[in-house]
Chain A
Amino acid sequence: MAAQLTAKFPEVKVDWMKERRLKVSTSAMHVKEVGLFARSTLGFDHISTVSGVDWIAKNELEVVYFVGSTTPGQEDFILAISERIARDNPVVPTMVEVWKGAEYHERETHEMFGINFQGHPDQSHLFLPEDWNELPPLRKDYVSPGR
C-alpha cells in the first residue's frame, strides 16, 4: 500500500502510526489527487472523520482525513491523509467530491479552526452559535473564558 502510494506520488511522505494505520502527508496542491487515488484504486471509500490540528509553534494548520474501507480484507485499515498549510491564509481544496460524507466534517473543521475549504457547498456554522465573532475556538491562541 505504502509502496503503491509513493510510486504514484513521489512527493508524499508515508509513515506508519502503527500496524494497519498509514499516515500520508501531502500538500494542499496534491491532496485531492491522493484522495481520488485512495478511493478508486486502493478502495478507501468510507470516510470516518476529519480533524484539524493547530501547530502554533510552527505557524501551521493541519487537516487530517481519516478514511476507512468497506473492501473485504482491509476493513481494519485506516488511511490518514494529512496536509499542512500556513496559519495566516489557510485555504485547502474541499474533498466533498471524493467522499460525500466529508461535507459536515469539513464544515466543523472550518468553524473550529478557520480553515477555508475551497469549493465547499456551505460553510456556515454547524455547532457554534450564529453570532460567534471571536477566534475559531480550537485554535491554540483562543483562551476559554473560564481559564
Chain B
Amino acid sequence: MTLEAEYSPDADRIMSVSLGPQHPGAGHFRIKLWLDGDYVVRSEPDAGYVHRGEEKMSEYRNYIQNVPHLERPVILDSSNILFAYALGVDELMNNKVPQRAQYLRVIMSEANRIISHMYFLAIQGLFLGHTTMITWCMGDRDFWIDLAERIGGARVTFAYIIPGGVRNDIPPSAIEKGLNTCDWFDKRMDEYEKIFFRNPMVHQRSDGIGVLSREDAIAYGATGTVARASGVSVDVRKDEPYSAYEDFEFKTPVMTQGDVYARAYVALLDMRESVKIIRQALKKLPQGPVRLKLGPQPRVPAGEVYSRTEAARGEMSYYIISDGSPRPYRLKIGVPSAKNLRVLPLLLRNVHVADIPPIYWGLNYWPVEADR
C-alpha cells in the first residue's frame, strides 16, 4: 500500500516543512516538504536563490567579455561550461582551432570533471554519515586543483577555454606532474572503493534509496550521472564526439539500479575514464600553436548554433543567436542541473526524512548552476 493512496496532502496530520535555504542539507536552495510523521508525502523544489540573470548579462557583453561571468555558475566545473560556449562561438565564426589547443581543452575539461566529482563524493560521504570520505576527497581534490592551477593559473575559475583555443600553453612541468597525479590517483580510487563503496554501512544507507527507473529518466529528460545510473547510456563525448575526443579510448560507464549508490558509483567510474583520457592526452600532446588571434572584439557572422558538451553533471548546451553585431542577440545556457531538477519531486516521495539529503545531493544538483 502506498502512502500516497492513503493520505491526501491536505489532511490534518500532514505537516509542511521548509528545508532551506539556511540548512546544512540544502544550501542555496529550498525544498518545501509535506510530511506525515517520518515520511515525505509530497515535495516541491524552490529554486532561484542564486538567479543572477546570466542570460540577460550576456546580451550586454561581447563574445570575449562573456567568458569570465559564464564560468561562475558552475564554479566546480568551470572549464566544461566554457567548453560548450567556445565550441558554439567557434562554429559561428568558422574557427579552425589548432590541434594542440583541442588536446589542452580535453585535458582541462577532464581535470575539471574529476574536481567536480570529488566534491560531489565528499559531500555525499558527509550526507551518508561517512566522515572519512569528506576528509579524503576534499584533500585529494586539491591535488587536481594544483594541477589545474599550474595549467590555468587559478584555483577554481580558470577562464582557460576561450573561443579560438585556450588562453595559454601548458607549462612543461605540468605534463610530468599530470602523469604522476594520474598514477597516484588510480591507486587512490581503489582505496575509495574499499572504504566507501564496499562499506556495508554505505550500502545499507544508499541501496534502493531514491530509485529512478529508466523510463522516467528518459521521459523527464535526466542527463549525466543521473541518467547513466538508471541505465540510459547518454554521453555526448561518445554520441557526438567533439573536439579531440575521437582520438581517445574510453568507455561510458552505465549502471542499472538507478539508486543513490549507483549515482555515486557512476561518478567514481567516470573519474577512472577521465584519468585514462588525461593520460592518453598528455602522452600524445601534439606541438603547435594554442590560440587563434581573434582581437578584442571579434565580429561574429549572423546565424544560430546549438552546441553541447558532456560536463561533469551531464549535457551542457548553448543556444546562441548572433545578428552580426559583436554581442550575442540571445544566449541560452542549457545546464544539466536544470535538466535534472524535475526529477527531484519525483524521487522525494514516500521516503524517510533522513534520506532527503543523500537523494537531493545524489542528483549532483548544484543550485548556482541551475539558477544561472
A60 at the interface (CB under 8 A from B): no
Q: Is the CB of B47 within 8 A of A17?
A: no
Q: Is the CB of A51 within 8 A of B219?
A: no
B201 at the interface (CB under 8 A from A): no
Total number of A residues with any Cβ neighbor in B under 8 Å = 39
Q: Is the CB of B234 within 8 A of A75?
A: yes
Q: Is the CB of A46 within 8 A of B218?
A: yes
Q: Is the CB of A48 within 8 A of B221?
A: yes
Q: Is the CB of A103 within 8 A of B60?
A: no
Q: Chain B interface mostly helix, strand, loop or mixed?
A: mixed
**A-B residue pair count with CB separations less than 8 angstroms:** 94
Report 16 cross-chain contacts, Cβ distance below 8 Å, ordered by A residue. A17-B305, A21-B306, A45-B218, A49-B334, A49-B338, A53-B321, A70-B233, A70-B234, A78-B308, A99-B219, A101-B221, A101-B339, A127-B47, A137-B53, A144-B60, A147-B60
In the complex with contacts A46-B218, A49-B334, A127-B342 CB distance below 8 A = no
Interface centre among B221, B304, B341 (most CB of A within 10 A): B221
Q: Is the CB of B342 within 8 A of A104?
A: yes
B259 at the interface (CB under 8 A from A): no
In the complex with contacts A17-B306, A101-B342, A76-B48 CB distance below 8 A = no
A128 at the interface (CB under 8 A from B): yes
Contacting B at CB under 8 A, from A49-94, are 49, 51, 53-54, 64, 66, 68, 70, 75-76, 78, 80
Contacting A at CB under 8 A, from B253-293, are none
**Chain B residue with the shortest CB-CB distance to A57:** B323
Interface membership of chain B positions 338-354, coded 1 if the CB is closer than 8 angstroms to chain A and 0 otherwise: 11011000000000000
Contact of A144 (CB < 8 Å), options: B53, B329, B332, B338:
B53
Interface size band for B: 35 or more
- Partner-B contacts on A (CB < 8 A): 17-18, 20-21, 45-49, 51, 53-54, 64, 66, 68, 70, 75-76, 78, 80, 99-105, 108, 112, 125-129, 137-138, 142, 144, 147
Contact of A100 (CB < 8 Å), options: B234, B308, B342:
B342
Q: Is the CB of B51 within 8 A of A127?
A: yes
- Partner-A contacts on B (CB < 8 A): 47-48, 51, 53, 55-57, 60, 91, 218-222, 232-234, 238-240, 304-306, 308, 315, 317, 319, 321, 329-330, 332, 334, 338-339, 341-342, 371-372
In the complex with contacts A17-B304, A21-B306, A75-B240, A66-B219 CB distance below 8 A = no
Can you name 17 extra interface pairs (CB under 8 A) apart from A70-B218, A105-B338? Answer: A46-B234, A51-B330, A66-B306, A66-B319, A70-B232, A78-B308, A99-B219, A100-B342, A101-B219, A101-B221, A102-B221, A103-B342, A126-B48, A127-B47, A127-B371, A137-B53, A147-B60
Please, how many angstroms separate the alpha-carbon atoms of A62 and B111 in the complex?
38
| Distance from B65 Cβ to chain A, minimum over Cβ atoms (Å) | 14
Q: Which residues of B contact A75 (CB under 8 A)?
A: 234, 238-240
Q: Is the CB of B91 within 8 A of A49?
A: no
Q: Which residues of B contact A18 (CB under 8 A)?
A: 91, 305
Q: Which residues of B contact A101 (CB under 8 A)?
A: 219-222, 339, 342
Q: Is the CB of A49 within 8 A of B218?
A: no
Q: Is the CB of A20 within 8 A of B240?
A: yes
Interface centre among B220, B321, B329 (most CB of A within 10 A): B220
**Chain A residue with the shortest CB-CB distance to B344:** A104
Q: Is the CB of A46 within 8 A of B240?
A: no
Kindly list the 8 A-B residue pairs having the minimum CB-CB distance in the complex, ordered from nearest.
A101-B221, A49-B334, A75-B239, A76-B240, A127-B48, A127-B51, A51-B332, A47-B221
Q: Which residues of A contact B48 (CB under 8 A)?
A: 125-129
Q: Which residues of A contact B305 (CB under 8 A)?
A: 17-18
Q: Which residues of B contact A48 (CB under 8 A)?
A: 221, 308, 315, 317, 334, 339
Q: Which residues of B contact A129 (CB under 8 A)?
A: 48
